[in-house]
Structure 1
Amino acid sequence: MGKEQFREADKALKVVGVKFAPGDCEFMRQTAHVPVFNNKLYEDVGGKLQPAAYGPLDPKMGVSTKTGLCATCGLGLTDCVGHFGYFDLDVPVFHIGFFKLTIQLLQCICKNCSSILLTAEQHRVFSRQVMNPNIDYLHRKALHKRIVAACKKGSTCQQCGMKNGTVKKAVGTVLKIAFASPVPADELGKYATMFTVNQEVGEHVRKMKFTLLNPLFVQKLFANIKEADIPVLMVRSGEEKHPNDLLLTRMPVPPVCIRPSVVSEVKSGTTEDDVTMKLMEIMLTNDVLKKHKRDGAPSKTLFETWEHLQIQCALYINSEMSGLPADMQPKKAMRAFTQRLKGKQGRFRGNLCGKRVDFSGRTVISPDPNLRIDQVGVPIHVAMTLTFPEIVNKSNIEKMRQLVINGSDIHPGANYLVDKKTGNKKLLKYGKREELAKNLRYGDTVERHLDDNDVVLFNRQPSLHKISIMSHRAKVMPGRTFRFNECACTPYNADFDGDEMNLHLPQTYEAKAEASELMNVKNNLITPRSGEPLVAAIQDFITGGYLLTHKDTFLPRAEVYRFAAALIDASAKKQTKIRIPPPAILRPVELWTGKQLIELIIRPDKGSQVSLNLTTKNKSYSGNLEFCNKDSYVIIRNSVLLAGCLDKSLLGSSSKVNIFYMLMRDYGEDAAVDAMWRLARMAPVFLSNRGFSIGIGDVRPSEKLLQEKGQLVDKGYEQCAQFIKELEEGKLKAQPGCTEEETLEAIILRELSTIRDHAGQVCLRNLSKYNAPLTMAVCGSKGSFINISQMIACVGQQAISGHRPPDGFEERSLPHFERKKKTPEAKGFVANSFYSGLTPTEFFFHTMGGREGLVDTAVKTAETGYMQRRLVKCLEVIQLLIYIYIIKLFRISVLLMMELFGLPDGLDPSMMEAKDGSVVDFAHVLVHAKNIQTKKDKPIPVINSMSFENRVDKQFHETEQKLEKQFWCKNWKRTNHLLAWISWLTKPTASKFPYSCVTIKSQEAITRAQGTGSWVRLLATSIG
């Protein structure tokens, strides 16, 4: 049965907080069920080993085996939560967790009479501050720090007049406290007899500066602290505790189930948990100490055993204690309670914040451009393992009966049936399924297989931002990998070189609804970081779109129909008619341009209302608007591409002039993802038909290119030789802040770096426009001009830490060169290309640069991961503070609270439409409105002898300036005036812009703005 969603049953029993405080001896005794005084783990009962009674594994504290029963509650391992035990220590020891606090308390009290080292006035002031019930944790911590500092300054006790020295942790020891207290001269007479017997002892006592405070002495001091001083010393926090509780006199023994014994199947015997072994060791040491006290052992032996007990009790809590003497070091590393809680594998980070969960799958990912952008292909094997608990009702009972009959081996089927009345769970792999299906009743739960269109969560690790996990619709498919459309790769940072991803199936209807509304791919096309689209076309799709829209791309009818057929969705319930535009050339043969097919991607359906209007420059724009000789000025009018080639800036992510981004703003997410899917279907078909591959011929340099490259390298070498000669002759002028050697390195590095850039320009001039690497670099789908230059012309200067390779050998970078040689080839310049091949020395230099890149990547990954974790932890605190602040403001004023929603300027980056960061792209709105108006053949009125177009242009600029100057600061004011301007634009019969006519209330305006989802959509809807 699926996990039930948590629901609050009783408000009175709601957990409001968790508080940690030292447990006193009486609390430990009351909580425990059994005293533990037997240090043996097992005892022989009738020839069979059984857990020893009153020992660390006593069955009264619970069981760790599946078959055993608890002697206290009579339940098994799955139901018994375990019971605590306890044992008494013969002498008190310091608690490692409270050791620092113990030292601070000793710094605050007199070591003679236990009075607090504060004046009466200080005591009164601090008491009043401590009793404040509203003081929070951070202020309480700061107050405690001030009290300790004040007590350190007052070294003389106000009660007994004793002068107190400093108290600190004894250097070079473990869990020992040193007290600076030299023996006063007037008290040396007490030791006169001893001094006469042993002169060395007298000398030692006179020189003594520090006294060690043992736990027994500290316990007596704490016991004498006055009740009135305790709240000030401990700084009150709810339930008050006595300072004596900071020392350990009684040890709790945890339940057996959290320290289970592992029974070996290979050999007889058991393997005990680290905590159990440490408990046994502490009890043995405690028994030895009792024996020494009873037998009157020498004080040295007694104190050594006491110290050993102290260290064992500390290792029981924290096994990674530093500074232990060699003879007390643990033989092997053990996991104490601290190690169970802290770190990446600890309870909090390993088992609470992130954990292994049920109803999830993980496998390798593969690309599938045929799937919708928000779909994920799930292997049938995974679909038959993951289940959803479907509750039987009137509308689905017939379907559920069929699933029960199918069972667990046929998809779609079901794995389990849960009876509503009894709660019994029946496996559907065996048994009479037809009979079970016949007896199915409303309210029963059928754990059915994952099926098509189920909402699933898809995640790739590392999850660095919220869109690393999104919800998709499942599509059950054959095969063994998860498949999804490549357009959704960017937010996951996924590629298909062996990456694995996780799939989670939500187990409640509420979780499914939340996932589909909040985490759906369609609702997360835009990154909240900058408002740019992240889900967009990549690689092959961009290359296909670019080649398709070239001026020389002409297609016959058969190919056009083939591309159009690729846009038919076989799984759609209702098929739509695809309208082919008329051919661009009629005679001697009908031909369509590739640009015409873009209309099929944006708006294939004849009845579609999608009308995209866009004017922008692409990556290669060189000037002269639509007459650009590179065809790089893109004009789209009413979804028809009139001019320009589509490249990464129009099809890819991180661009606000992307056609999918514009579609999303104007017509919603569905129009954008549908267009993206149509491009993903058409581009591979076009590329497979046309052919697009890269071979050795694409990187073979021509004779002319080799000649120009040789001239460039020779000229660069001559320049470098000239600089080296100037240095040797003392003519080289040093740059500010640099020596002559450093100046030479900087000049040569700059000179050699330009060679590769110039070689790249030579490549571009000599390559054919049909060259595949060049095509990819120009359209932005993959690679760069530098990659092409390195493959064909020249790899260039290798840099390590921003400098030429340093001298790894005596006065030279490699042993292949003469000493003190600074020529380009001796200092990491690779004149060859990857096509011509590198010489051995060039290969070494290139390896140096590559190694640095790999190390940088590895180090940066670790550093950024840790930095992100720290940042998230900081932001959690800030989020809590903002939440508290909002709650406080809510009590003052709802209006003030409204101002806090959003960033300091009140704007959401994901809703900023224009490239310059403006909320609304006014220029696009205007162009879009004009073209829709013209398309619908509405008459354009002439008012006051001024054409509507000119009037709109003029009014638009005036309005934009006024908005920027006057109303940019307040969100609701901007909303009002924008709506008023849009209403004027749709009804341009008013005599002037109706600033004085704005009567929309702020809340109504905000509601309308939120309801539209986009200003552009609102405008288009109003006009339409």
Structure 2
Amino acid sequence: MVDVNNFESIQIGLASPDKIRSWSRGEVKKPETINYRTLKPEKDGLFCERIFGPTKDYECSCGKYKRVHYKGIVCDRCGVEVTKSSVRRERMGHLELAAPVTHIWYFKGIPSRMGLILDMSPRSLEEIIYFASYVVTDAGDTPLEEKQLLTEREYRQYRHKYGTDFQADIGAEGVRTLLKNLDIQAEIDELKELLQTATGQKRSRAIRRLDILDAFNDSNNKPEWMILDVIPIIPPELRPMVQLEGGRFATSDLNDLYRRVINRNNRLKRLLDLNAPHIIVQNEKRMLQEAVDALVDNGRRGRAVTGPGNRPLKSLSHMLKGKQGRFRQNLLGKRVDYSGRSVIVVGPKLKMYQCGLPKEMALELFKPFVMRELVEREIANNIKNAKRKVERMDESVWNVLEDVIREHPVLLNRAPTLHRLGIQAFEPVLVEGKAIQLHPLACEAYNADFDGDQMAVHVPLSDEAQAEARILMLGAQNILNPKDGKPVVTPSQDMVLGNYYLTMEDDGKLGEGSRFSSVSEAIQAYQTGYVHLHTRVAVQTADLPHKPFTDEQRKQYLVTTVGKLIFNEIMPDEFPYLNEPSQVNLEEKTPDKYFLDYGTDIPKVISEMPLVKPFGKKDLGNIIAQVFKDFQVTETSKMLDRMKNLGYKYSTISGITVGIADISALEEKPVILEKAHAKVDKINATHRRGLITEDERYAKVIEVWNQAKDDIQEALKTSLDRKNNIFMMSDSGARGNISNFTQLAGMRGLMAAPSGEIMELPITSNFREGLSVLEMFISTHGARKGMTDTALKTADSGYLTRRLVDVAQDVIIREEDCGTKQGLTARAIKVGNEVIEPLIDRIIGRYARVTVRHPETDEVIVRENEIITEDKGRQIVDAGIEEVTIRSVFSCNTQHGVCKHCYGRNLATGREVEVGEAVGTIAAQSIGEPGTQLTMRTFHTGGVAGDDITQGLPRVQEIFEARHPKGQATITEVSGEVADITEKAEERTKVVTIKGEVDTRSYEIPINARMKVEVGDRIERGDPLNEGSIDPKELLAVSDAEKLKNYLLQEVQYAYRSQGVEIGDKHVEVMVRQMLRKVRVQDPGDTDILPGTMIDLHEFKEQNKKALMSGGQPATARLVLLGITKASLETDSFLSAASFQETTRVLTDAAIRGKTDNLIGLKENVIIGKNIPAGTGMGIYSNIEPKSVGVVSENVYSINDQSEAIDAIEDIEED
């Protein structure tokens, strides 16, 4: 066997007949499989033990030699080698064909490879191969031409006329003769000459032919190997036959297909031996050809061969293709042992790094560890005894299990795994029952809830796997979301509500204005009922020594509530005392307005102070982010656990609940509705008099009702008591929002019809009053549409993620700095006047490409190639700077990846990215995972000025697939000034004239399009004239790549951010860069590239470098924008492309070219079973020897305090 990890690359090519014979262990001569009585394989049949190896370990067929003692002996009676039965998975056989046949992939694929090589049409080839026409292989001195087709009748006439002066042949033999006679080099020279003069169709066909001929010339493949003389037979264990209950057999379809080929081949041999009539032999040859076609790719030509129940049989091609094929089912995803699954329930008492594992499940998962430990502790005498104890669940087992699982993390996974946080590591805690307990804060990352969700558990076995799980995957480590760098473990629901209730303030509560000398005294006063949780009291600041107050503040009273004192106790020391949900309070200090001097009339001052808003969900998220920034992971996860406990405790104490009494009737509602009805009547009257069109009437009616609903919503907001339970739930961000409340207490409003357009009859009732029958029915459309939308969206979003992962899976951080001199000019992304993404969000965590100076003082804020931190980012924005040139993935020069400087900070850790990080996969997951939150609909703006604008998920797909967008905008091809805009009423268009620097251009635009330019505006090439989406390929043609990249980035950000989803720019940059990797060569100069071929940008630069070094002319090319599907299939790795889509086409092409896969990406390495070249699998991390560096005393560090830990270790060494 090959040593699995001992090769750098893998090559594919055409197999010559001799090669196929050299693989084989013997010829299969009979179609039989196994003997029906003895159930042993038939000799020389498809399962023959002599060819493929013994069916039982170390036992020959006749039973003469048994046991491993005889290993390697070939039995003299039955001829079977005594060896392991697993050789039946690797040994191949072969079948010698009585007549050659063509390989259907090379003849039928698009384009037909055989057709291109021979310069014949696929139809002509089909006639020859399937015995309909003869082909002239050598014309001799006759007037016939080579490759001329002759019908049976013409062939007989010419034979009669010219005798043996010419050679003609039929079937695969004829094609083989033509292929053998082909002089590839001469053809190539001829085609190169033709290219000098040819144009149009002729030229493009010549280029395609030249491409294929070059491929055969450069690889060691011979064209005649596309014709098969001998067929390989795959090992029997890969096409098994198993006995079912009741004595019947289930067999792989391949056995049926092989059997048909062998039967027909044997019959043909017999007919040839008998000198059967010519026509019978030809028919048999055609049937053999069809049988081989069905074996290789059933259904590719003609009707598929079917098995019982008219089911098409699965051929060799089907074994590779699709989700159930070899690549995706068995190589990219495998079933693993040491895993289990169960329903999840909430584990509110767990720590951030723990999960509850059912005892029985844990025992089964950790069985080998427990057994070893039982033997080592001498509780069991041997492994067998230990196994028995475990299976019987002996009393002695449980203590051992407790010790075994201590500090042995397990992985928890919830399907669908949309991003890397869908698999995290936790330390197991044994629990009774059969359900896995999950920490409530881990739910958001998994998108899990406890309504019956299931999760899978996996056990990392080796020490390395355990170390990786603990260091990289522990639940307590994954605080930030890789897509935007914001905390993913924010409290939700009850936890939010409890903390909101805890930090509320109220007027005139029991004991308002009381003074306390210490925190404990204030809490005691609350516990004894002297003050309320929400009472505003004054506490001496001196009793809070750990908080960063100013010297002035330390001599004063702090006005706060008992609830806030309790809330602040969970915060780390040195973190500012939180008295209000403001950024200043979070980052710097408690504002001075909450401090009172000694001797002040405290109750009076407090009663005049305005109430402060409590801390809602967003504020808690900001607090977590700030704590993470200041104190790193360990402290944050401890604080999160404390926040969770506090939330649960006080949401229970608050007793907040929902009853019908919480929904009060709105007095203004009848008045608002009356006014709306009056307006609608007026609009309808205007329409009846013919003053407005139907479309305008509809749009106005819709507008009136929307306005009425908004008015009711506003009235509700003002009338709502801040202590209303439902208000508190929605205001805190725990559950629900104002529009839910509007539907409960106001009106439901307008509904959409099944067609997607809005019905003009609104639902004026609300849920408290109850709906009429008609209203009930109208609202069901929306509900039904919602359900179907969600189902479709999930599939669409998953497929988008799959394509994104595929195109970017080989993008890995490969080096420190690529040394590029280019960058990206970052400004705030705006649509109209609305800021979609502010400048600060775009530059934080990126390296500056050029030094940034203060525009007034000229002092340096950030140096070139220095990372822009939050503080520096704020300084830049405060200085009024509107654009910064940053290092960007767009302009990175690293091949097969990105460098650290161009990527910047890793959003998941908040620190600089490490070499080896698989940033392509992270980018794909970050863009794909929120896909399900985007809308599916293309909105109908309805009425007058509107064409449908695509939004949400369809828009994201449109951008990444580089399709012609719906509602396309016209762009200008010249830079200049808008000279004139005139309307042509009869043609219903507007004509925009642009006076450029060199020439003047006019563009016709539909009359109802919304214009983006006016007369006198100055515009640049590629700017849109009207509203709509720009076609990216058009933009690339008229403008430069820089403008296209910025446009694509802006559009993706708009699609996501308009739906409230934030994604880091760098993820989109990684994707867009992958779409712009190829160039199309226009003039090859003195390089070896063919004109019109698509080639990788790096390879193009290399070829040009070679040409220039040898004093030749470089090639010229244009950048090509590929959609992600196309880009995935154009990758250098044939394994990655074949496992993505169009498997047969990719493999056909790769085999002809003799392609080599250098195993650079992740998928290729997973497929062949090597470690992936990312993360700890990178070369730089392997072969690290552990060494002792002294003992660290007292302090225990988390992995994120590495630098401190290293300093501490150095101190020890010095001691």
Q: Fold-level match, TM-score > 0.5?
A: yes
Which SS does the other structure have where 2:723 is aligned? coil
Deviation string 1:819-848 (CA, Å, 9 cap, x unpaired) is xxxxx43xxx22222233322222222111
- Number of the residue aligned with 1:819: none
Show the counterpart of 2:46.
Answer: 56
Percent identity between the aligned chains?
22
Structure 1 residue 649 and structure 2 residue 618: aligned? yes
Question: Who is 1:222 aligned against?
Answer: 179
Aligned twin of 1:526? 480
Q: Deviations over 1:899-918 (max 9, x none)?
A: 99x9999xxxxxx9997456
- The alpha-carbon deviation at position 714 of structure 1 amounts to 2.7
Match of 2:530 in 1: 589
Cα displacement string for residues 239-274 of structure 1 (whole angstroms, at most 9, x for unaligned residues): 61222211111111222211221113313x433321
**Aligned match of 2:734:** 781
Of 234, 240, 261, the match for 2:220: 240
2:860 is aligned with 1:972: no
* Rounded Cα–Cα distance in structure 2 between residues aligned with 1:555 and 1:61: 92
Mapped partners of 1:472, 1:297: distance in 2:
75
Distance 1:252 1:348 in 2: 20
Deviation at 1:507, TM superposition (A): 0.6
1:711-754: CA deviation from partner (whole Å, max 9, x where unpaired): 2223222222222222221111xxxxxxx222222222222223
Counterpart residue number, 1:96: 104
Q: What is the CA deviation profile of residues 449-499 of structure 1, one whole-angstrom value per residue up to 9, with x for unaligned ones?
A: 852443122222211112222222222211222222222211111111111
CA distance in 1, matches of 2:54, 2:715: 76
Determine the structure 2 residue equivalent to 1:279: 258
- The reply to whether residue 716 of structure 1 matches residue 676 of structure 2 is yes
SS in 2 for 1:796: coil
Q: Establish whether residue 28 from structure 1 lines up as the match of residue 28 from structure 2.
A: no
Q: Which of 764, 769, 772 is 1:836 aligned to?
A: 769
CA distance in 1, matches of 2:628, 2:136: 78
Instruction: State the SS of the aligned residue for 2:10.
Output: coil
Higher Cα Rg: structure 1 or 2? 1
Distance of aligned partners of 1:428 and 1:403 in 2 relative to their CA distance in 1, 3 Å threshold: farther
Give ranges in structure 1 of 5+ residues lacking alignment: 1-8, 112-151, 153-164, 206-210, 408-415, 419-423, 438-445, 558-576, 620-624, 629-640, 653-657, 733-739, 807-823, 887-893, 906-911, 922-957, 982-1001
Give the SS at the match of 2:866: helix
1:83 lines up with 2:91 in the alignment: yes
- Output the CA distance in 2 between the equivalents of 1:785 and 1:645: 18
Give the Å deviation of 1:708: 2.3
The Cα shift of 1:430 comes to 7.5
Are 1:769 and 2:735 an aligned pair? Answer: no
In structure 1, C-alpha distance between the alignment counterparts of 2:593 and 2:678, rounded to whole Å? 43
Could you tell me how far apart the structure 2 residues matched to 1:320 and 1:425 are?
Answer: 56
More off after superposition, 483-492 vs 912-921? 912-921
Q: Determine the structure 2 residue equivalent to 1:481.
A: 435
Counterparts of 1:198 and 1:220 in 2: how far apart (Å)? 20
The answer to whether the Cα contact below 8 Å between 1:41 and 1:51 also exists between their aligned partners in 2 is: yes
SS at match of 2:691: coil
Question: CA-to-partner distance for each residue in 1:859-884, whole Å, 9 max, x for gaps?
Answer: 111111111100110002444xx75x
Q: Would you say the 8 A contact 2:261–2:291 is kept in 1?
A: yes
Q: 2:235 aligns with which of 255, 269, 286?
A: 255
Deviation at 1:585? 8.0
Aligned counterpart for 1:666 among listed residues 630, 646, 652: 630
Alpha-carbon distance in 2 for matches of 1:239, 1:614:
74
Query: 1 CA distance for matches of 2:128 and 2:507?
Result: 83
Q: 1:265 aligns with which of 238, 245, 264?
A: 245
Secondary structure of the 1:834 match is coil
Separation in 2 of the partners of 1:304 and 1:271? 32
Moved more, 219-228 or 674-683: 219-228
Displacement of 1:166: 4.9
Is residue 342 of structure 1 aligned with residue 321 of structure 2? yes
Aligned residue in 1 for 2:81? 73
**2:706: which partner in 1?**
753
CA distance in 2, matches of 1:506, 1:680: 29
SS in 2 for 1:97: helix
Give yes or no for contact 1:360–1:504 (8 Å, CA) kept in 2.
Answer: yes
Matched position secondary structure for 1:511: helix
- Code of the residue aligned with 2:696 in structure 1: it is T
TM-score by length of 1: 0.64
- Residue 429 and residue 401 in structure 1: after superposition, are their counterparts in 2 closer, same or farther (change >3 A)? closer
8 Å Cα contact 1:37/1:54 also seen in 2: yes
Matched, 1:875 2:875: no
| Cα pair 1:318 1:339 within 8 Å, conserved | yes
Structure 1 contact 51–58 (Cα < 8 Å) conserved:
yes
Q: Is the 8 A contact 1:792 1:835 kept in 2?
A: yes
- The CA deviation at 1:535 is 0.9
Q: CA deviation at 1:100?
A: 5.2
Distance in 2 between the 1:975 and 1:504 partners? 38
Q: Could you tell me how far apart the structure 2 residues matched to 1:795 and 1:500 are? A: 36
Equivalent residues of 1:63, 1:82 under 8 A apart: no
Distance 1:694 1:651 in 2: 24
User: Shift in Å at residue 783 of structure 1?
Assistant: 0.9
Letter of the 1:86 partner, please give it: H
The AA in structure 1 aligned to 2:501 is L
Q: Cα–Cα, structure 1 residues 598 and 315, in superposed 2: closer, same or farther, change >3 Å?
A: farther
Measure, in 1, the Cα distance between the counterparts of 2:187 and 2:525. Answer: 93
Deviation at 1:228, TM superposition (A): 5.2
- Aligned residue in 2 for 1:681: 645
Instruction: State how far apart, in whole Å, the 2-side matches of 1:642 and 1:960 are.
Output: 40
Q: Distance in 2 between matches of 1:219 and 1:617?
A: 81
Give the Cα separation in 2 of the matches to 1:724 and 1:483: 61
TM-score normalised by the chain length of structure 2: 0.55
What is the Cα deviation at residue 785 of structure 1?
0.7
Give the 5 Å matches for 1:760-909.
Answer: 760-800=713-753, 804=757, 824-825=760-761, 829-879=762-812, 883=814, 896=818
Is 1:725 equivalent to 2:725 in the alignment?
A: no
For the aligned residues, what is the CA RMSD? 5.3
Look up the SS of the partner of 2:410 in the other structure. Answer: strand
Q: Does 1:331 align with 2:310?
A: yes
* Distance in 2 (alpha carbons) for counterparts of 1:84 and 1:513: 41
Residue of structure 2 equivalent to 1:935: none
Contact 1:618 1:646 in 2 (8 A): no
Larger mean CA deviation between 273-282 and 170-179 belongs to 170-179
| Residue identity opposite 1:589 in structure 2 | Y
Q: Contact 2:354–2:426 at 8 Å: present in 1 too?
A: yes
C-alpha contact 1:800 1:849 (8 A) present in aligned 2: yes
CA deviation string 1:323-344 (max 9, x = no partner): 4289999932222222222222
Q: C-alpha deviations, 1:272-324, integer Å up to 9, x for none? A: 32111111111112233334444555555444433332222122122342542
Q: How does 1:86-125 map to 2 (within 5 A)?
A: 86-99=94-107, 106-107=114-115
**Is the counterpart of residue 363 in structure 1 residue 342 in structure 2?**
yes
CA contact (8 A) 1:525 1:534 kept: yes
Cα gap change, 1:522 to 1:601, in 2 (>3 Å): farther
- Contact residue 749 and residue 804 of structure 1 kept, 8 A: no
CA contact (8 A) 2:580 2:614 kept: no
Q: Matched residues in 1 for 2:722 and 2:658: separation?
A: 14
Q: Secondary structure at the match of 1:34?
A: strand
Residue identity opposite 1:833 in structure 2: N
Structure 1 residue 85: Cα displacement: 1.3
Provide closer, same or farther for how the CA distance between residues 276 and 804 of structure 1 changes in structure 2, counting only shifts above 3 A: closer
Structure 2: any 5+ residue segments left out of the alignment?
Answer: 62-79, 162-167, 189-211, 512-517, 536-560, 585-590, 595-609, 827-836, 847-851, 876-900, 913-1197, 1209-1215
Give how far 1:798 is off: 0.6
* Residues 256 and 373 (structure 1), Cα distance of their counterparts in 2 relative to 1, 3 Å cut: same
The 8 Å contact of residues 254 and 314 in structure 2, kept in 1 or not, is answered as yes
**Residue type matched to 1:769 in 2?**
R
Residue pair 1:373, 1:484 contacting (<8 A) in 2 also: no
Identify the structure with bigger relative contact order (alpha carbons < 8 Å, sequence gap 6+): 2
**Alpha-carbon distance in 1 for matches of 2:15, 2:154:** 47
Q: How many residue pairs are counted as aligned between the two chains?
A: 763
